[in-house]
Structure 1
């Protein structure tokens, strides 16, 4: 019985560590000034590199899924949720990280 649980344990651990790795990559990208928060609730590329663009694509896909869930749950449009998320992201952005202001990347 214990042997049968091992594959499940390793699968769960793998997901946990891959999520942690992903979070570290995003934090690192923000620290390095590679990505920033946009006015539409999504990440944007401050520096256009293939690995940065791949990270942004992954993060933004997850955000959009979450925004759609929130919109549906709260009887809002996707655009309303995106706007609220952008406002919150700007407020939570750490000093020294980038945000998009009037079409230009600026450090907060």
Structure 2
């Protein structure tokens, strides 16, 4: 059985494990951002950014530093998704989708998340 065939029907356990490893990796990245004027959690709590289904954050409202934060976080997430895709042999788009679902599920009440139609809503 080739590696591709083994992953043709990903199990829930494998997807959850992949999602958990992505979230842990992203959490570790979060500690390297103190130089930014606005932290990710501050921006989330203020309703400035939200989680998107594609595993990236988006600006809900514009404010000073939001675009820089979004760009920085998303660049770091893309690197993490690339590493995870290489380690698992899955396409980056699949890793991004799993991360998006996981991050939206774990979003705290009051944080913004994007629904599949592209609309922001508070969790």
Smaller-chain TM-score bracket: 0.7 to 0.9
- Partner residue, 2:122: 107
The alignment partner of 1:99 has SS state of strand
Q: Is 2:64 the partner of 1:64?
A: no
Q: In structure 1, what is the Cα distance between the partners aligned to 2:35 and 2:76?
A: 12
What whole-Å deviation, never above 9, does each CA across 1:10-64 have from its counterpart, x for those lacking one? Answer: xxxxxxxx72626971100000000000111000000123510100000000000
* Over 4 Å off, 4+ runs: none
The alignment partner of 2:90 has SS state of coil
Q: In structure 2, what is the Cα distance between the partners aligned to 1:59 and 1:31?
A: 16
Q: Is 2:53 the partner of 1:39?
A: yes
Q: Is 2:113 the partner of 1:77?
A: no
Q: Is 2:91 the partner of 1:91?
A: no
Gaps of 5+ in 1: 1-17
Q: Which has the larger radius of gyration?
A: 1
Could you tell me the TM-score, scaled by structure 1's length?
0.78
RMSD between aligned residues: 1.8
Matched residues, number: 91
